[in-house]
Structure 1
Amino acid sequence: MEQRRTWEDWMKDLKHYIWNPEKKEVLGRDAKSWCLILLFYFVLYAFLTGMFALCIYGLLSTISPYVPTYRDRVFPPGVSIRPHVSGFHYSFTPSEESTWSAYSENLQKFLEAYDDEKQIENNIVCTPGHYFIQEREEHEEKKACQFRRSMLQNCSGIDDPSFGFSKGKPCFILKMNRIVGFKAGSGTPITVTCDTPKANHTLIGDVHFYPVHYFDLMYFPFYGKLTHVNYTSPLVAIHFTEVTRNTDITIQCKINGQDIINDHKTDRFLGRIVFTMNIR
Structure 2
Amino acid sequence: MGVRPLIDHKATLIDFDHEKQSSYQIHINHLQAFLEQYNPPPSNAEVCVSGPPSDPKKVCKFDIADLGTNCTWANKFGYADGQPCVLLKLNRIFDWVPESYANANDTGNPDAYESNSVLVTCNGEHPADIDNMGPVEFFPPAGFSFNYFPYKNQVGYRQPIVMAQFTGITRGIVVQIRCRAWADNILYHKNDKMGSVHFELRVD
Matches within 5 A, 1:33-112: 79-86=1-8, 87-112=11-36
Cα offset, 1:169, TM superposition = 0.5
Matched, 1:153 2:81: no
More helix as a share of residues: 1
CA distance in 2: counterparts of 1:90 and 1:197, whole angstroms: 16
2:58 maps to: 143
1:185 maps to: 99
Once superposed, what is the RMSD of the aligned Cα atoms? 1.9
Q: What one-letter code is carried by the residue in structure 2 that aligns with 1:95?
A: E
Tell me the SS of whatever aligns to 2:29: helix
Q: What one-letter code is carried by the residue in structure 2 that aligns with 1:92?
A: F
Maintained 8 Å contact 2:71/2:165: no
CA distance in 2: counterparts of 1:196 and 1:83, whole angstroms: 19
% same residue: 29
CA distance in 2: counterparts of 1:215 and 1:230, whole angstroms: 18
**Higher RCO, 1 vs 2 (CA within 8 Å, ≥6 residues apart):** 2
Q: 1:238 to 1:94 in 2, by over 3 A?
A: same
CA distance in 2: counterparts of 1:109 and 1:262, whole angstroms: 30
More strand as a share of residues: 2
Q: Whose radius of gyration is greater, 1 or 2?
A: 1
1:231 maps to: 157
Which residue of the other structure, out of 178, 194, 202, is the alignment partner of 1:270? Answer: 194
Q: For each residue in 1:95-135, what CA deviation from the matched residue of structure 2 results, as whole angstroms up to 9, or x when unmatched?
A: 111111110000010000112xx12744101114x3x264x
CA distance in 2: counterparts of 1:156 and 1:124, whole angstroms: 24
Number of positions where the alignment pairs a residue of Structure 1 with one of Structure 2: 187
Q: 1:173 to 1:113 in 2, by over 3 A?
A: same
2:140 maps to: 211
1:19 maps to: none
Normalized against structure 1, the TM-score is what? 0.62
Structure 2 residues without counterparts, runs of 5 or longer = 101-114
Maintained 8 Å contact 1:164/1:170: yes
